[in-house]
Structure 1
Amino acid sequence: MSQAAQAYSRTSQVTGNAREIEAQALLTAAKKLRDVQTNWNGPDAKMHKALLFNRRLWAIFMSAAEEDKNPHTIETRQNIANISVFVMHQTVEMQLNPDPKKLKPLIDINCQIAAGLAGRA
């Protein structure tokens, strides 16, 4: 398990329900991305920080999905991995060809999955 995933795992055990923590992390990432989109100034440090935060979050999800001891079904784990790959691809595309419209899918995915984790979907 990666160091980031281990830290995440330790934090989730101490601070509360993993689903709540994941939902809050996704909403935090979505807010950072939405702030960049709303206040678009071209590619800047704020954009890169928001993309990095989101990419790291999804790297943790992907790492957890690959763990043998992950309790989710193979199908669910594959779906998480597929979404993670899309997020990584979309992030690279945004970094290579910055356009605030390209942030919408990342924001939407994070919000929709956060809603599902919180039982609002």
Structure 2
Amino acid sequence: MSSPLDAYRSVEKATLSGRDLEASVLLKAAQKLVEAQHRLADEKDLQTLDEALRYNQRVWTLFQSEISESANPLPEEIKTNLLALIGFIDRRTYALMAEPKPDRIDVLIEINRNIAGGLQAGSDAARVSEESQ
């Protein structure tokens, strides 16, 4: 480990549930997008936007891969809805790369935060259920 922070992150990753880890990654992507949005508005910084969009796209590509697995236990309707959402995220990402505008980033930030919140709520409910048994 190169620093105490790296050690903490390693332990955090090992102790987070799947949902918590997914929520954490989405919130990190949202934070990167917020930072990029501010830097784009203030400094016309396209590099930070590009990095944030690419990070966010990798996160959602991973989700798409997981959703597409035949062993994925999600109901088909949820899989279909998530794949449609991922399609929207891809289109918005490419539109932002072509025409970067700070106000157009909001929707990606909100999607990430809302999905992360849902994952965290589901994880909390699962923990309560396990503790009551």
TM-score by length of 1: 0.84
Residues in 2 aligned to 1:76 and 1:117: alpha-carbon distance in whole angstroms = 14
Q: Can you give the 5+ residue segments of structure 1 that lack an aligned partner in the other structure? A: 1-12
The Cα shift of 1:14 comes to: 4.5
Larger Rg: 2
2:39 is the counterpart of 1:36: no
Whether the 8 Å contact between 1:33 and 1:47 is mirrored in structure 2 is yes
CA contact (8 A) 1:23 1:114 kept: yes
In structure 2, the partner of 1:17 is 17
Q: Distance in 2 between matches of 1:42 and 1:88?
A: 22
The residue that corresponds to 2:125 in the other structure is none
Hey, what's the Cα distance between the residues in 1 that align with 2:21 and 2:83?
19
TM-score, normalised with respect to structure 2: 0.77
- 1:5 maps to none
Gaps of 5+ in 2: 1-12, 123-133
Instruction: Determine which of 90, 110, 113 is the counterpart of 1:111.
Output: 113
The answer for the alignment partner of 2:54 in structure 1 is 52
Q: What letter matches 1:27 in structure 2?
A: L
More divergent stretch after superposition (13-22 vs 61-70): 13-22
AA of the residue aligned to 1:25: V
Q: Distance in 2 between matches of 1:98 and 1:43?
A: 10
Code of the residue aligned with 1:49 in structure 2: it is E
Q: State the alpha-carbon separation in 1 of the partners of residues 34 and 121 from structure 2.
A: 22
Percent identity, aligned pairs only, is 32
The answer to whether the 8 A contact 2:67-2:79 is kept is: yes
- In structure 1, what residue type is equivalent to 2:19? R
CA-based RMSD of the aligned residues comes to: 1.6
Aligned length: 108
The one-letter amino acid paired with 1:37 is Q
Paired residues of 1:55 and 1:91 also in contact (CA < 8 A)? yes
Inter-partner Cα distance in structure 2 for 1:19 and 1:37? 27
More helix by share: 2
Once the 2 structures are TM-superposed, how far is the Cα of residue 15 of structure 1 from its aligned partner?
4.4
Measured in 2, the distance between the counterparts of 1:26 and 1:54 equals 8
SS of match in other structure, 1:39: helix
